[in-house]
Amino acid sequence: MGQIQLNQVSKSFGSVEVIPPLDLTIEDGEFVVFVGPSGCGKSTLLRLIAGLEDVTDGHVMIDGDDATDIVPAKRGLAMVFQSYALYPHMSVRKNIAFPLRMAGLDKSEQDRRVTEAARVLNLTDYLERRPGQLSGGQRQRVAIGRAIVREPEAFLFDEPLSNLDAALRVGMRLEISELHKRLATTMIYVTHDQVEAMTMADKIVVLQAGVIEQVGSPLELYQRPRNTFVAGFIGSPKMNLIGGSEAAKHDAATIGIRPEHIEISEGPGAWEGTVGVSEHLGSDTFFHVQTAASSEPITVRAQGELGLRYGQKVYLSPSMEHLHRFDSKGLRIE
């Protein structure tokens, strides 16, 4: 079991309220991702759940029991830190065995669990090394190993992949997802990379300045963002948000249209514009098109190569069924 519930939890550092009171329920076995811009309070929220930070007000419930005053070690949660926080003077084996040793498990049981974790994480050949003699990805796996041997109720990850290079990040992303499928344990994962959020999560929690902007499955957030912040934050490249008279035509203060829902052609279309910078990814091309409809250039995603040149005149046709409308407060209009 690993159900976690936050009831009116808030956190202030001195007089600065970093997290205003919020409610959140994380179901057992769920993979929940906290996303949001830097400094929005993701790590703080995670540390409140872990117990490394005391709540200013409210209650943290784990499996229905109030855990607010329980010390971190007794909450049954394991955490993987951004810096991995491995113990530099201990071998990989000792690092992974440390929580078991602290729990007073007997030696043979410790060995059995460490061997098993090392096998799962491909660390068997590195057990006698020190963390300093490992690559970034291997260190990451040791940190995960140290978390899984405890067989916790839930895993907490704080930006675990941000120190890895892009290729390794994709690999580790898959490994963590696979681990979640196999263990079926609750995982809470903090990131500011929305691709990680979209690909890994069962449920995404979008935060801004300590406030939950929206909670939902990746597709819900993609298809029906609750407000302009979520609309702009989820999806890559970003959704085009257009205000002014163009939005007024649709009875909205702001309209949003994702780059993949706009067609670009040399023939006639809704908006006329000139091609600015284009980014060629091979499979896709992103065009930044300057139009009269919007002060910002509109990003368009087209499949393959279209052979459009810089400065060329083009027409854009947004697909009307994918148009998002927001009112003057930035909230979605259905």
Ligand X SMILES: Nc1ncnc2c1ncn2[C@@H]1O[C@H](COP(=O)(O)OP(=O)(O)OP(=O)(O)O)[C@@H](O)[C@H]1O
CA atoms within 13 A on the CB side of 232: 14
* Cβ atoms of 186 and 28 closer than 8 Å: yes
Using CB under 6 A, pick the residue from 1, 8, 12, 13 that binds ligand X.
13
Q: For ligand X, which is the closer residue by CB, 42 or 226? A: 42
CA gap 47, 24 in Å, rounded = 15
40 contact choice in Mg ion, other proteins, ligand X, none (CB below 5 to 8 Å, kind-dependent): ligand X
Long-range contacts of 115-122 (CB under 8 A, 24+ apart): 117/145, 117/148, 117/149, 118/92, 118/93, 118/145, 120/145, 120/148, 120/179, 121/145, 121/148
Binding residues among 154-193 for ligand X as defined by CB under 6 A:
192
Q: For Mg ion, which is the closer residue by CB, 43 or 185? A: 43
Q: For other proteins, which is the closer residue by CB, 43 or 138? A: 43
- Taking residues 22 to 61 in sequence order and writing x for each that binds ligand X by CB under 6 A, - otherwise, the string is --------------x-xxxxxxx-----------------
Closest CA to 46 of 157, 143, 144: 157
CA atoms within 13 A on the CB side of 111: 3
79 contact choice in Mg ion, other proteins, ligand X, none (CB below 5 to 8 Å, kind-dependent): other proteins
Q: For ligand X, which is the closer residue by CB, 79 or 127? A: 79
Rounded to a whole number of angstroms, the minimum distance from the CB of residue 43 to Mg ion is 3
Q: For ligand X, which is the closer residue by CB, 81 or 315? A: 81
Closest CA to 203 of 68, 28, 332, 47: 28
146 contact choice in ligand X, Mg ion, other proteins, none (CB below 5 to 8 Å, kind-dependent): other proteins
Q: DSSP states of 41-104 as a string?
A: SHHHHHHHHHTSS--SEEEEEETTEE-TTS-GGGGTEEEE-TT----TTS-HHHHHHHHHHHTT
Q: For Mg ion, which is the closer residue by CB, 39 or 244? A: 39
97 interacts with ligand X by CB under 6 A? no
* Cβ atoms of 41 and 210 closer than 8 Å: yes
Number of chain residues interacting with ligand X (CB under 6 A)? 11
Rounded to a whole number of angstroms, the minimum distance from the CB of residue 239 to ligand X is 21
43 interacts with Mg ion by CB under 5 A? yes
- Region binding Mg ion by CB under 5 A among candidate stretches 21-29, 42-50, 88-96, 166-174: 42-50
**For residue 36, is it left (φ>0), alpha (ψ between -120 and 50) or beta?**
left
194 interacts with ligand X by CB under 6 A? no
Rounded to a whole number of angstroms, the minimum distance from the CB of residue 52 to ligand X is 11
* Cβ atoms of 92 and 127 closer than 8 Å: yes
Q: For ligand X, which is the closer residue by CB, 36 or 99? A: 36
* Cβ atoms of 197 and 7 closer than 8 Å: no
Reading the block at residue 29, the tokens are 């076995």
3-class secondary structure, 205: strand
Q: Where do contacts with other proteins occur on this chain (CB under 8 A)?
A: 50, 52, 71-73, 77-79, 81-83, 85-90, 98-99, 102-103, 130, 146, 150
102 contact choice in ligand X, other proteins, Mg ion, none (CB below 5 to 8 Å, kind-dependent): other proteins
Rule CB under 5 A: which residues touch Mg ion? 43
